């Protein structure tokens, strides 16, 4: 009896391990998806919307909840609930990989779940780069139809890529504006 492992302990330990490792996994899975599955050497910038992180966090909370429930109770009703939670968590993980913003040399693409909107660079009227001392910078792309595309500045958009973006904007007749945020 002393050498048998308790299912309650095993499920509890798995829930604790998931709770400890979830922040790192939630942080890195979207970045790994972008750099592996959606990699294109012509990309100037690929950003991940915040909704992806929220969906992954919810999925991991469901997985932690699944193992926590299994640690305390196991019967037919609980297994039905666990199955529903598992399918929901898997669906959240799937949907967390669908959204991105891509700034390519030829176009700007917004993928929001199953809706894809692509703007050729010739349709971009103005590119505004806003930056501040204590704030992250952001790029605002304004189309000729007055639609606005926001994307955060990242270290992946280095000086060479910024120059390339400026050159592409000027080739397509778009205005490139750098604007400093006012300090308060």
Give 110's DSSP letter: E
pLDDT of residue 83: 95
According to the model, what pLDDT value does residue 65 have? 95
User: Residue 46's closest CA among 114, 111, 105, 101?
Assistant: 101
What are the φ/ψ torsions at residue 11 (nearest 5 degrees)?
-65, -35
**Are the C-beta atoms of 161 and 103 separated by less than 8 Å?**
no
The CATH code of domain 114-180 reads 3.30.720
Segments making up each domain of the chain, as ranges: 7-96, 114-180
Give the pair of three-digit tokens for residue 120.
């050729």
Mean pLDDT by 10 residues, the chain (184 residues): 78 93 91 82 84 94 95 91 96 91 86 88 85 78 86 76 83 82 62
What's residue 44's pLDDT? 82
Other Cβ atoms within 10 Å of 15 Cβ, number: 19
pTM value is 0.81
* pLDDT for position 183: 56
């Amino acid at each position: 009896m002393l050498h048998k492992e308790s299912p309650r302990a095993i499920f509890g330990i798995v829930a604790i391990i998931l709770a400890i490792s979830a922040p790192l996994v939630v942080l890195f899975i979207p970045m790994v998806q972008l750099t592996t599955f959606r990699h294109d050497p012509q990309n100037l910038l690929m950003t991940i919307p915040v909704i992806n992180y929220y969906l992954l966090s919810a999925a991991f909370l469901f997985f932690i909840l699944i193992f926590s429930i299994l640690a305390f109770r196991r019967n037919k009703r609980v297994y039905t609930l666990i199955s529903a939670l598992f399918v929901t968590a898997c669906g959240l993980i799937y949907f967390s990989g669908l959204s991105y913003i891509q700034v390519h040399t030829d176009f700007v693409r917004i993928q929001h779940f199953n809706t894809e909107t692509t703007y050729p660079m010739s349709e971009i009227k103005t590119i505004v780069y806003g930056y501040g001392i204590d704030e992250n910078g952001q790029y605002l792309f304004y189309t000729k139809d007055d639609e606005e595309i926001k994307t955060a500045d990242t270290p992946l958009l280095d000086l060479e890529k910024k120059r390339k973006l400026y050159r592409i904007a000027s080739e397509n007749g778009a205005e490139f504006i750098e604007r400093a945020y006012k300090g308060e």
